[in-house]
Structure 1
Amino acid sequence: MVDITIKEHKMCTRRLIEMGRLVAKAKLDHLPTNILLGSFVH
């Protein structure tokens, strides 16, 4: 099990929220997550 501090957890959560905003702003939030991941990796 990985122990992370509360600060690290908050930073990670904030980053995920920011990424979600970018996906929504690009009007890609209607796509399934597997399609998004595939396009980011490719």
Structure 2
Amino acid sequence: MKLNKISIRDTFIPLGANEFLEDFANYEIISFLDLFSRYN
């Protein structure tokens, strides 16, 4: 319990779903099946 008293809690507000998805909007997603079928 002493560790809980001295540890720093998260001080940020979690991102909303829209903000989170906007960060990844420009990335191309390649699935495991694409890799398995030799996707280019």
**TM-score clears 0.5:** no
Q: Give the TM-score of the pair, scaled to structure 2.
A: 0.31
Say which structure, 1 or 2, has more relative contact order (CA 8 Å, 6+ apart): 1
- Higher CA-based Rg: 2
Calculate the TM-score normalised by the size of structure 1. Answer: 0.30
